[in-house]
């Protein structure tokens, strides 16, 4: 946040305490070093409230964090030595990161639409074919090899969505099992619900034990029921639901 115009320039690495209305009080107040995690806002600079040059006031970030944990902009009031201040705190989070586990033609449509939304995109597949690299050249990341490496990278992302859509039953089962063994927060599976139930049933036979957290993060069939048929329509249904999830979590 830039400083308003002032007669005397302030040091960029120090902040002064709130003006109490007396110029002597402003000049004698000890400067407090800025903290790297502090948030700042301008106080009331009306003629009635401030008779000295504008100053910055440091907000209590620990108290503010609970108010802004929703991820949405909101007003926050904080008390300080000279009174109170109300500031608009806006949270800026990175865009969602979509991990597509599949390199079919319908993945191209999802990639293209998600690109227009400003999302970060990773394509994950087993085979490093030249056609695959050319088809997904616009992806931010291309993982062609062991699925475990891609799943681990996906789990390390805070705003990650894993989409299982290889159209190969055996590969989808393996991918789903690997993702469920990680901390990926949101897992989508393309295809009919009965197919996903079969995949989960097979995983149970291999020793996978479902938890309540798995039930909350696993979504199948993927997307909204829009009657989608073409790859472009499927991409729209998938991304609408994923986008809605990111906003539901911040309410």
CATH number at residue 111: 3.40.50.720
In angstroms, the Cα distances linking 84 to 41, 69, 80, 178 are 12, 22, 6, 51
The secondary structure of residue 143, as a DSSP letter, is E
Is position 2 within any domain?
A: no
Number of compact structural domains in the chain: 2
Residue 78, pLDDT above cutoff 90: no
CA–CA distance, 153 with 180 (Å, rounded to integer): 14
Is position 236 within any domain?
A: yes
Residues above pLDDT 90, as percent of the chain = 38
Q: Which has the higher per-residue pLDDT, 88 or 238?
A: 238
Same domain for 85 and 130, yes or no, is no
pTM: predicted TM-score of the whole model, two decimal places: 0.67
Residue 51 pLDDT class (50, 70, 90 cuts):
low
Same domain for 105 and 59, yes or no, is no
CA–CA distance, 140 with 64 (Å, rounded to integer): 34
Is position 119 within any domain?
A: yes
Which runs of consecutive H residues, i.e. helices, occur in the chain?
23-28, 61-67, 105-116, 130-135, 147-155, 169-180, 193-205, 212-217, 231-248
Q: What is the pLDDT of residue 28?
A: 38
Domain boundary among 31, 62, 89: 89
Q: Which two tokens stand for residue 210?
A: 């479902």
Residue 80 pLDDT class (50, 70, 90 cuts):
low
3-state secondary structure of 205: helix
Burial 69-85 (b: 16+ CB within 10 A, else e): eeeeeeebebeeebeeb
Same domain for 116 and 85, yes or no, is no
How much is the mean pLDDT over the chain? Answer: 74
Same domain for 172 and 77, yes or no, is no
Q: What is the pLDDT of residue 38?
A: 46
Contact (CB, 8 A) for 92 and 30: no
Same domain for 166 and 113, yes or no, is yes
Q: What is the pLDDT of residue 82?
A: 59
Residue 53, pLDDT above cutoff 70: no
Peptide bond into 163 cis (omega under 30): no
Q: Which has the higher per-residue pLDDT, 98 or 237?
A: 98
Residue 88, pLDDT above cutoff 90: no
Same domain for 20 and 73, yes or no, is yes
Is position 6 within any domain?
A: no
Which residue range forms the structural domain that includes residue 178? 97-248
């Amino acid at each position: 946040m830039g400083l308003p115009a002032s007669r005397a320039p302030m040091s960029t690495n120090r902040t002064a305490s709130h003006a109490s209305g007396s110029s002597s009080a402003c000049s004698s107040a000890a400067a407090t070093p800025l903290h790297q995690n502090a948030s700042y806002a301008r106080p009331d600079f009306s003629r009635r409230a401030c008779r000295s040059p504008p100053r910055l006031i440091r907000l209590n970030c620990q108290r503010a964090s609970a108010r802004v944990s929703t991820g949405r902009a909101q007003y926050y009031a904080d008390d300080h030595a000279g009174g109170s201040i109300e500031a608009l705190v806006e949270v800026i989070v990175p865009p969602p990161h979509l991990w597509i586990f599949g390199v079919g033609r319908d993945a191209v449509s999802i990639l293209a639409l998600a690109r227009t939304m400003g999302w970060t995109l990773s394509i994950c597949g087993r085979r490093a074919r030249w056609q695959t690299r050319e088809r997904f050249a616009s992806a931010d990341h291309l993982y062609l090899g062991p699925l475990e490496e891609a799943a681990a990278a996906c789990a390390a992302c805070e705003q990650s969505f894993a989409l299982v859509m290889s159209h190969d039953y055996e590969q989808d089962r393996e991918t789903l099992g690997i993702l469920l063994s990680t901390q990926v927060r949101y897992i989508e599976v393309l295809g009919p619900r009965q197919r996903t139930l079969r995949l989960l049933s097979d995983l149970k036979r291999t020793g996978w034990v479902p938890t309540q957290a798995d039930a909350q993060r696993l979504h199948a069939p993927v997307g909204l029921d829009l009657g989608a048929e073409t790859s472009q329509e499927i991409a729209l249904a998938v991304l609408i639901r994923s986008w809605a999830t990111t906003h539901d979590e911040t309410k």
